[in-house]
Structure 1
């Protein structure tokens, strides 16, 4: 398989492997003859899987590179990202401080809160994004070590460094196409909760020479996640690669991405009837989705596939693990 380090052998790109590549691909017959799955839930070890772990492969060594021993990041109280950061950070000598905002509570969120409580993360909970923003400077100062503040990461780990994980995944998809494991997708569908997965795929697929378009299913209304925002992150990731001595000739445009919030529902974290129906249908295919991100992306696939001329590839970015992850 071709990874970023193979593509840019002279680049300064510290990386720690946290999962086995490639993640499996297969046709989802019950979803239509042209629907394929890339199962990112398989990425990661016994702690927690999914798309957040790909980002942490780049974020953890970057924290060490900067001499930081504390991660500070934000999200909703049902955050998968914060849980993955806490679990994998702990294994690599990093503590994790979380600033979390309330969201609609269901069984999934309750389970996540219990997992967070067992993860070792230092959790601070707020009723709104505004309250969290007011509290954040104080949290950074509270957990500093000497003159060094915690390494701040945006929601979802969607910094340019974290986004490298899905540049890598875009190259992986291209290798799976070339090896005959997967037909070249016309589109790849992914939930967009913080932009890093979609932005990284935009870069990686173009870098690999595929014509595949990224379709982002926006599931978060806490901040802007339109084509302009996602494309800005994609180009910031390209700029990072150039600063790290990678010779890359890629420029992304807003027209390279289709983004829609038609499947969001009433707000971030709120389930939708279409999403819950997709969640139940996915179980018949042996897939475990969740209602906030992946169920909404799979609901969108039901509408996208019939009107797309060519294969549709959907990412299952949810990566649950058993109780041993939290011991």
Structure 2
């Protein structure tokens, strides 16, 4: 979001879409408020769990929320709202060529950290696959760094969204944008470095699976962060399964949302804290 929010005119309202418990929408509303911007969110129903419910409550306190019946209706209303003007569109999940560059930078940061500490790169990085921006950015970042780490994407959305064609197109568009901005050649993204794992989905967006619940419980008992059942817990479940058959350090789980934040309102700047 840092790159997506950087050039927003201060007389605009942020507009985005997402399911009822969208952590992306909450992040847009929260960080938009930190730079003085109001947010409007169009949501649609999803299967709910504790983290999604808590996110929905926080979102309603932080943004103007309009509930719709489906993604199609939400996008239609968003298009009409954009035509009327005075809003700045943030794509679902922040997944755009510019947004993906933030994840590419994170991949480069990981490579630099491990190199500094003398730790070899993992064979695989496991990450949830939603709108695709995180996965696309990691693929691009690892390509720029020249490492052979695979990105294993645990699909948590329908195949029409979570598919290799969509991810690789986004990664290549992001590469093209960076090449234009940098004025120099950028390494190509190797599609063979992407693996999409479909069993994580569980049949519906937001539907918790036994493997995800077990992974979330194990992480909590081990002193780790609280995982959400829509994204992180599903990807973590697959990461643990991969790690059981791999050498130590071969698999890295990429956490995309630390749900402990939902219990820690005191960590939010006082002037934009939602009610408890």
* Fold match by TM threshold 0.5: yes
Question: 2: distance between equivalents of 1:195 and 1:163?
Answer: 9
Residue number in structure 2 paired with 1:127: 69
Residue number in structure 1 paired with 2:6: 61
Q: Residue 134 of structure 1: CA displacement?
A: 2.8
Residue number in structure 1 paired with 2:210: 273
Residue number in structure 1 paired with 2:243: 305
Is 1:140 the counterpart of 2:82? The answer is yes
Residue number in structure 2 paired with 1:291: 229
**Which 5+ residue runs of structure 2 have no aligned equivalent?**
none
Question: 2: distance between equivalents of 1:286 and 1:158?
Answer: 31
Higher percent of residues as helix: 2
Question: 2: distance between equivalents of 1:179 and 1:280?
Answer: 32
Write the mapping of 1:152-191 to structure 2, written as runs, cut at 5 A. 152-180=89-117, 182-191=119-128
Question: How many equivalent pairs are there?
Answer: 264
TM-score normalised by the chain length of structure 2: 0.89
Q: Residue 190 of structure 1: CA displacement?
A: 0.5
Write the mapping of 1:236-247 to structure 2, written as runs, cut at 5 A. 236-247=173-184
Q: Matched residue of 1:244: which SS?
A: helix
Q: Matched residue of 1:303: which SS?
A: helix
Write the mapping of 1:83-98 to structure 2, written as runs, cut at 5 A. 83-98=26-41
**Which 5+ residue runs of structure 1 have no aligned equivalent?**
1-55
After superposition, what is the alpha-carbon deviation per residue over 1:120-163, rounded to whole angstroms, capped at 9, x for unaligned?
x1111112112223322222245x23xxxx22222110111111
Question: 1: distance between equivalents of 2:222 and 2:239?
Answer: 15
Is 1:114 the counterpart of 2:63? The answer is no
TM-score normalised by the chain length of structure 1: 0.76
CA separation of 1:303 and 1:154: change in aligned 2, threshold 3 A? same
Check the 8 A contact 2:178/2:186 in 1, yes or no: no
Q: Residue 108 of structure 1: CA displacement?
A: 2.1
Question: 2: distance between equivalents of 1:80 and 1:248?
Answer: 35
Question: 1: distance between equivalents of 2:98 and 2:68?
Answer: 27
RMSD over equivalenced CA pairs, Å: 1.8
After superposition, what is the alpha-carbon deviation per residue over 1:85-131, rounded to whole angstroms, capped at 9, x for unaligned?
10111111222111111001232222111101221x11111121122
Q: Residue 263 of structure 1: CA displacement?
A: 0.9
CA separation of 1:285 and 1:62: change in aligned 2, threshold 3 A? farther
Q: Residue 78 of structure 1: CA displacement?
A: 0.3
Residue number in structure 2 paired with 1:315: 254
Work out which structure has the larger RCO, using CA pairs closer than 8 Å and 6 or more positions apart in sequence. Answer: 1
Residue number in structure 1 paired with 2:197: 260
